[in-house]
Chains A and B, each alone.
Chain A
Amino acid sequence: MRSVPLLAVTGLLSVTALAACGGEDKPADPNALTITSTDTECEVSKTELAAGSNTFKILNKGTQVTEVYFYGPDGKIVSEKENIGPGTNYDITVSLSSGDQQIACKPGMVGDGIKQNIKVSGQASALDPRLTKAVADYRAYIDAQIADTMAKTQKFAESVKKGDVDGAKALYAQSRFGWESIEPVAEAFGDIDPKVDLREADLESGDTWSGWHKIEKALWVKKTTKGEEGTADQLLADLKTLQDQVHTVDITPASMANGAKELLDEVATGKITGEEEAFSHTDLVDFQANLDGAQKVFELLKPVVVEKDAALDKTLTDGFATLQTLLKKYDEGNGAKTSYDKVKPADRKELSDAVNALAEPLSKLAATVG
């Protein structure tokens, strides 16, 4: 992972989309929902809402920068928008599920803010059964990937605890594979991701570093496992928490598609640059996992994509095949890949071009199935 989201709200939570800023002069839509944030109040124009996609115009009529949070019936953050300046507004589309829940305005962006109760009823319109199946199959895939990453991390942790540096190094990249293939889902749990996958460069002063990359540094830089025994145990425990909670994540076809795009974004910003695996240089293994995870999503959604946009289907089918072929050049057997520090700039550019070629059309997938 690249950054430390305090509140990791990604495409795989129920956030459907964020619209761009708009002028207040727009002709007023009588049905438009507004949230008016002042220094002392958080006024929602309608507090009884229908389940499904709702668009709100947030108006900051206070004197301070504000932010707005949407909490689901379970109290978890469903969506949020920060940094809304005084006198400005912002449109946000949120997918609400049935039940009593809250919207909070936080003038000054501190504290719990001013909460407003809302009641959501009804059911979002029924999904195409093929999409329902895609979501169910994707849940099964997530479970399998987490099980895989846990089994391999178990062995990795055992090597760490035995003091077997070489053994642990050999198991390191593969232990991450399952995680990397579904990472955007895991990022929905804002606290787990930084615990298991934070990079040293993303630490803030006062942060306690834990997770894979802490052990990575010990293995490759300090060349020891000493002192990392606890880190390994904690990593396993954190992954167990993910396994226990992952079924609570709301998954929609659009959020799956956004997750696939985010996996390619991970490649484009973290792996192509070699930042993710700064010590082990196993970036290409993560790359493969990200790519496989994105391709899985596409294949599950494919029956609907073929029907709705055959040209996009062909572009994506070809794009995945091209990138898979390109990545295969770096296979070194048993899932290992060429160490990324050995990949020359011209070859990195070739990989980068192929990622852009796939990620650009992939960004159209969510709207096609959403």
Chain B
Amino acid sequence: MTEENAEKTPVEKTSTEAAGRATGLSRRGVLGAGGAGVLAGAALGAGLVSVARADDSAAPTYGGRIPFHGDHQAGIATPVQDRLHFAAFDVVTTDRARLVAMLREWTIAAEAMTAGRPAGRGAVGGNVLAPPDDTGEALGLDASRLTLTIGFGPSLFGRFGLEGRRPAALVDLPHFPGDRLDPARSGGDLCVQACADDPQVAVHAVRNLARIGFGVVSVRWSQLGFGKTSSTTPDAQTPRNMMGFKDGTENVPGTDAAQLDEHVWATAEDGADWMAGGSYLVARRIRMHIETWDRTGLREQEDIIGRDKGEGAPRGRQKERDKVILEAMKPDAHVRLAHPDTNGGAKILRRGYSFTDGTDGLGRLDAGLFFLAYQRNVTKGFVQIQKSLGADALNEYIQHVGSGVFAVPPGVAKGGFWGDTLFT
């Protein structure tokens, strides 16, 4: 916050920020309407029901709060926010107790930040000789639908007494033709997916977790995403990816409990009891060859994707949500090869984001899709579909350059902590 901002938000009191944790006030708790704002905030909080429980009537509005606690972690079936900061961490300690203690600390910070409160004892108002617990750049911003979702990578399971706890479903991804994976953008013992409507809220969350984690974990790589490419709310407008096409029209809806149970949520019967209610995440950094794509004729672009560019209608149909006729598409069309009917019914919940990391040394846009997909079974989900996409006409314009696979544990109950089903 700059001095100028302080002047422009005269109602906000920094002393309240500091007290936020103790009183349960949000970062914006007393903004605007003074005491009434607090009441409104409390009422909103009480009225929220986890969307993961298929109750979409209470879906939080833009900028609001998504409950941290629940049967499933938020950030999977909950509505997709606009922005992403995804971070993969290496565990640098050999001390299991320190790792568990950090996961508890992370959970407390995540509970606060997803509720729009600062981490720890806040960003201001504490001992002036000490650096503040919270880094402060989210002061005055609302909860912004922040969700924080943790996952555990395969490399974690050889240590900390976790040998034998690795779920069979957490497979190492095979090499796919065309992969050019950078080890510096791949793997990780832990991951945190931070999604929010305001990018500063997402970055703030990862920054504060990384800071809490110093000495226990170290950021291995991270990725910012600036625009959602998939929606988990079918009534929402389907977003477009960097190729200009609508992406994720037939995604698993976050409100469809039957589909989520079939394709997304793991059960104890799937091989690891601690993963019941969790899911498996595949993250891929997919670089797009933007310049060559932009030089491709419109008909060819539409043939490659299998939908028309304007409406998003499948080939041979009129409207975006008209039933797909696979046979109307070219044999190597992307949508055809990725479709459940081509893959034995395989479906994954996509939650990817467009990224642009400036330009590369050759003046080309370093842009693409940071693909995030949740599924109950990685082999039957992503691996099956990606094998099918080996013949994809789109491969000429994309390249997978980063990769990670993570077991995403079930949601946290009040009083519990991230990964408690694995570590206790």
Minimal beta-carbon separation of A153 from chain B (angstroms): 35
Q: Indicate if A353 sits at the interface (CB-CB under 8 A).
A: yes
Decide: B215 and A357 in contact? CB cutoff 8 A: yes
Minimal beta-carbon separation of B276 from chain A (angstroms): 34
Chain A residue at minimum C-beta to C-beta distance from B15: A26
Task: Report B1-30 CB contacts with A as 1/0, cut-off 8 Å.
Answer: 111101101111111000000000000000
Q: Indicate if A167 sits at the interface (CB-CB under 8 A).
A: no
For chain B, residues 310 to 352, give those with C-beta under 8 angstroms from any C-beta of chain A: none
Give the residue among A19, A20, A370 with the most B Cβ atoms within 10 A: A20
Minimal beta-carbon separation of A366 from chain B (angstroms): 5
Please judge, given known A-B contacts A26-B13, A26-B14, A349-B218, whether A21 and B130 are in contact too, CB under 8 Å.
no
Complex: how many Å from CA A273 to CA B128?
30
Q: Indicate if A227 sits at the interface (CB-CB under 8 A).
A: no
For chain A, residues 77 to 130, give those with C-beta under 8 angstroms from any C-beta of chain B: 84-85, 87-90, 93
Please judge, given known A-B contacts A357-B214, A357-B215, whether A25 and B10 are in contact too, CB under 8 Å.
yes
Please judge, given known A-B contacts A23-B13, A26-B13, whether A367 and B130 are in contact too, CB under 8 Å.
yes
Chain B residue at minimum C-beta to C-beta distance from A361: B215
Complex: how many Å from CA A85 to CA B148?
37
Within 8 Å CB of A85, what residues of B? 3-4
Complex: how many Å from CA A26 to CA B4?
15
Decide: B2 and A357 in contact? CB cutoff 8 A: no
For chain B, residues 117 to 165, give those with C-beta under 8 angstroms from any C-beta of chain A: 123-124, 127-132, 136
Decide: A89 and B3 in contact? CB cutoff 8 A: yes
Complex: how many Å from CA A119 to CA B123?
34
Q: Indicate if B92 sits at the interface (CB-CB under 8 A).
A: yes
Within 8 Å CB of B124, what residues of A? 19-20, 22
- Cross-interface CB contact of A367 among B10, B15, B123, B127, cutoff 8 Å: B127
A interface size (C-beta, 8 A): 35
Please judge, given known A-B contacts A16-B128, A20-B136, whether A25 and B13 are in contact too, CB under 8 Å.
yes
Decide: A87 and B7 in contact? CB cutoff 8 A: yes
Give the residue among B9, B12, B92 with the most A Cβ atoms within 10 A: B92
Complex: how many Å from CA A284 to CA B13?
46
Chain A residue at minimum C-beta to C-beta distance from B127: A367
Chain A residue at minimum C-beta to C-beta distance from B5: A21
Decide: A22 and B215 in contact? CB cutoff 8 A: no
Within 8 Å CB of A22, what residues of B? 6, 14, 124
Minimal beta-carbon separation of B124 from chain A (angstroms): 5
Within 8 Å CB of A16, what residues of B? 128-129
Decide: A363 and B130 in contact? CB cutoff 8 A: yes
Within 8 Å CB of B127, what residues of A? 367
DSSP class of B's interface residues: helix, strand, loop or mixed?
loop
- CB within 8 Å: A-B pair count: 80
Task: Report A212-253 CB contacts with B as 1/0, cut-off 8 Å.
Answer: 000000000000000000000000000000000000000000
Decide: A84 and B3 in contact? CB cutoff 8 A: yes
Q: Indicate if A76 sits at the interface (CB-CB under 8 A).
A: no
Complex: how many Å from CA A21 to CA B1?
8
Task: Report B374-389 CB contacts with A as 1/0, cut-off 8 Å.
Answer: 0000000000000000
Chain A residue at minimum C-beta to C-beta distance from B217: A353
Decide: B7 and A24 in contact? CB cutoff 8 A: yes
Minimal beta-carbon separation of A2 from chain B (angstroms): 20
For chain A, residues 317 to 370, give those with C-beta under 8 angstroms from any C-beta of chain B: 319, 349, 353, 356-361, 363-364, 366-367, 370
Give the residue among A55, A357, A364, A370 with the most B Cβ atoms within 10 A: A357
Chain B residue at minimum C-beta to C-beta distance from A17: B128
Q: Indicate if A254 sits at the interface (CB-CB under 8 A).
A: yes
- Cross-interface CB contact of B92 among A87, A353, A363, cutoff 8 Å: A353
Within 8 Å CB of B309, what residues of A? none
Complex: how many Å from CA A87 to CA B1?
15
Decide: A367 and B129 in contact? CB cutoff 8 A: yes
Within 8 Å CB of A367, what residues of B? 127, 129-130
Decide: B128 and A19 in contact? CB cutoff 8 A: yes
Q: Indicate if B53 sits at the interface (CB-CB under 8 A).
A: no
Please judge, given known A-B contacts A25-B13, A26-B15, A357-B215, whether A17 and B129 are in contact too, CB under 8 Å.
yes
Decide: A23 and B10 in contact? CB cutoff 8 A: yes
Within 8 Å CB of A93, what residues of B? 128
Complex: how many Å from CA A24 to CA B10?
8
Q: Indicate if B289 sits at the interface (CB-CB under 8 A).
A: no
Decide: B14 and A90 in contact? CB cutoff 8 A: no
Decide: A25 and B215 in contact? CB cutoff 8 A: no
Q: Indicate if B185 sits at the interface (CB-CB under 8 A).
A: no
Decide: B128 and A360 in contact? CB cutoff 8 A: no
Decide: A23 and B12 in contact? CB cutoff 8 A: yes
Chain A residue at minimum C-beta to C-beta distance from B136: A20
Decide: A356 and B214 in contact? CB cutoff 8 A: yes
Complex: how many Å from CA A26 to CA B13?
6
Minimal beta-carbon separation of A226 from chain B (angstroms): 39
Chain A residue at minimum C-beta to C-beta distance from B3: A88
Within 8 Å CB of B7, what residues of A? 23-24, 87-88
Complex: how many Å from CA A90 to CA B3?
8
Decide: A370 and B15 in contact? CB cutoff 8 A: no
Decide: B3 and A358 in contact? CB cutoff 8 A: no
Please judge, given known A-B contacts A21-B2, A21-B3, A89-B3, whether A366 and B10 are in contact too, CB under 8 Å.
no
Q: Indicate if B211 sits at the interface (CB-CB under 8 A).
A: yes
Complex: how many Å from CA A12 to CA B129?
13
Decide: A254 and B129 in contact? CB cutoff 8 A: yes
Chain B residue at minimum C-beta to C-beta distance from A90: B3
Chain B residue at minimum C-beta to C-beta distance from A89: B3
Within 8 Å CB of A24, what residues of B? 6-7, 10
Decide: A20 and B215 in contact? CB cutoff 8 A: no
- Cross-interface CB contact of A353 among B15, B131, B211, B218, cutoff 8 Å: B218
- Cross-interface CB contact of B129 among A21, A90, A349, A370, cutoff 8 Å: A370
**Chain B contacts to A: CB under 8 angstroms:** 1-4, 6-7, 9-15, 92, 123-124, 127-132, 136, 211, 214-216, 218
**Chain A contacts to B: CB under 8 angstroms:** 16-26, 55, 84-85, 87-90, 93, 254, 315, 319, 349, 353, 356-361, 363-364, 366-367, 370
* Besides A16-B128, A20-B124, 15 other A-B contacts (C-beta < 8 A): A20-B14, A22-B124, A23-B7, A23-B13, A24-B6, A25-B13, A55-B128, A88-B4, A319-B215, A353-B214, A356-B218, A357-B215, A357-B216, A360-B214, A367-B130
Instruction: Name 29 A/B residue pairs within 8 A (Cβ), A-sorted.
Output: A16-B129, A19-B128, A20-B1, A20-B132, A21-B2, A21-B6, A23-B6, A23-B9, A23-B12, A23-B13, A24-B7, A25-B13, A55-B128, A85-B4, A87-B7, A88-B3, A88-B4, A89-B6, A315-B215, A319-B215, A349-B218, A356-B214, A356-B215, A357-B92, A357-B214, A357-B216, A358-B215, A363-B130, A367-B130
Nearest 6 interchain pairs by C-beta: A357-B215, A88-B3, A367-B130, A367-B129, A17-B128, A370-B129
